[in-house]
Amino acid sequence: MHKLDKWIEIDVDAVRNNLEQVRSLLDEKVILIAVLKAEAYGHGARDIARLLNQQGVDFFAVTFLYEALQLRKAGILSNILVFSPLIDEEQLAEAIENSITITIASREESERLIKVTQELRKTATIHLKIDTGLGRFGLNSQELIELAQELNSYNNIYLEGIYTHMADAAGQTAYTVRQFEIFLETVRYLEQAGIRIPLQHCANSAVFLKYPQMHLDAVRIGTLLSGQHPVGNFERRLSLKDPYRFKCRIVSLRLVEKGSYLGYFRTYRLKNKALVGVVPVGFNDGLALEVANPPAGLVDLLKGMARQVLVYLNQPRFRLNISIKGREYPIRGKVFMQMALVEIPPEADVQIGDEVELPVRKTLAAKNIVRLYVKDGVAGKVASEDATTFI
């Protein structure tokens, strides 16, 4: 560890704690689909899959095919569902050859699937996606019913699941309930037609917490396993632990006089003499980056504007801070591409090489940064999928 100038630590016991917290609200008959998209929310999909597998989780989901293939190459043999549609025959063939569960969300995808399975003479496992109000992708109710009846007639297509995704689970109850009703109406029609799909699922982390009646046959949990509650207010809350710590070491320290400017464009001027530390982390690594979605409404817009004003005024609550030996120090000036400057009082007990913790959002951290899996303060490796220990 001492040879690294920056790294991410993942606390193994925190991951296990979050899994147990989720299971405490889960009926034993309901399957847990652990969502590992975006490198398991920044924690490292391969090793998180191994950790969860050791704890009995054997069904995973990712957004894209390449994520599923990476898990297969790492030796993950469990079920893996890909949410995103596969856009050509080559992708479909690769998914089938690697026993990856495919989402079908349009008639065109269904037609390609039939063609590829017949050519390969292999069975494809699929989940049908119905769009009940999110507007991303998926079949409408009538389309899904027609395709389900058609696909059910092929021996080499296993219709394992049907699912939808809620648009506003943490917000409008009426809208979410209506989405659920559309989903159940479609399932009931299929059952009346003699088609019983084994896995029916619509619950992500937010739905899981707020609507126990919507757990159905399986739930898709990602945010909660990563140690965070979904955005919104929930009566049910779990005792989660954040497994993630982004760390680096101070690479430079120098005493700088009061009135000196720091960084490009001289955006900050020291009000007192200070030690200026340099850390080897910048926006290329994810520091000071933010998700920039359009405001959800006027109130959201005003909140965003107010926050920017408070950042500009250097209000303590809204500035970037790092932590050294349990104390916080502010990042000053503009963050560089690969470095940042930190203001430290001259009398502080800080040395070059000291360990630093930084506020880099886990899903925005650079993928190439080393992730260390830590148990009881000791970094180790996660054993292969069929092992039961952390080594």
> What pLDDT was estimated at residue 288?
86
Average pLDDT over residues 286-302: 69
Q: What tokens appear for 122 in the block?
A: 């292999």
Mean pLDDT confidence for 65-78: 97
Helix (H) or strand (E) holding 141: helix 141-151
**162 pLDDT higher than 90:** yes
Instruction: Flag whether pLDDT at 242 surpasses 70.
Output: yes
Task: Let me know: does 294 contact 347? Beta carbons within 8 Å.
Answer: no
* pLDDT of 53 higher than 50: yes
What is the third-level CATH fold of 12-221?
Answer: TIM Barrel (3.20.20)
pLDDT confidence bin for 1, thresholds 50/70/90 = very low
pLDDT over 70 for what percent of the chain?
90
Residue reference for tokens 């126990």 = 212
Condensed to tens digits (0 to 9), the pLDDT of residues 328-350 reads 999 999 999 999 999 999 999 99
**Residue 283's pLDDT is what?**
92
Ordered by start, the domain boundaries in the chain are 12-221, 251-352
- Answer whether residue 388 shows pLDDT above 60: no
> What pLDDT was estimated at residue 81?
98
CATH architecture of residue range(s) 251-352: Beta Barrel (2.40)
Helix axis angle for 65-73 and 89-97, nearest 10°, is: 30
Q: What is the pLDDT of residues 87-124, one digit of tens each?
A: 999 999 999 999 999 999 999 999 999 999 999 999 99
Model confidence over 221-231: pLDDT tens digits? 999 999 999 98
Helix, strand, coil abundance in the chain, percent, nearest 5: 30, 25, 45
Give pLDDT, residue 292. Answer: 55
Mean pLDDT of the chain: 92
Q: Looking at residue 309, what is its pLDDT?
A: 61
Q: Is the pLDDT of residue 378 over 90?
A: no
Residue ranges of E strands in the chain: 6-11, 31-35, 59-62, 79-82, 101-104, 124-129, 157-163, 199-203, 218-221, 244-249, 252-256, 261-262, 268-269, 274-279, 321-324, 327-332, 340-344, 355-358, 371-375, 378-380
3-state SS string over 238-253? CCCCCCEEEEEECCEE
* Burial classification of residue 378, based on how many CB atoms lie within 10 Å of its CB (0-12 exposed, 13-18 middle, 19 or more buried): exposed
pTM here?
Answer: 0.91
pLDDT per position as a tens digit, 128-146: 999 999 999 999 999 999 9
Each residue's pLDDT tens digit, 366-376? 988 999 999 98
Weakest mean pLDDT among 46-50, 72-76, 339-343, 381-385: 381-385
Q: Is the pLDDT of residue 177 over 80?
A: yes
Q: What does the pLDDT read at residue 390? A: 60
For residue 303, pLDDT beyond 90 = no
CA dist 91 and 205 (Å) reads: 29
Q: C-alpha angle 137/139/145, rounded to 5°?
A: 165
Range 121-133 burial, b when 16+ CB lie within 10 A, else e: eeebbbbbbbbbb
Would you say residue 290 has pLDDT above 80? no
| pLDDT value of residue 301 | 61
pLDDT of 85 reads 96
Question: For residue 387, how far is the Cα from the chain centroid?
Answer: 25
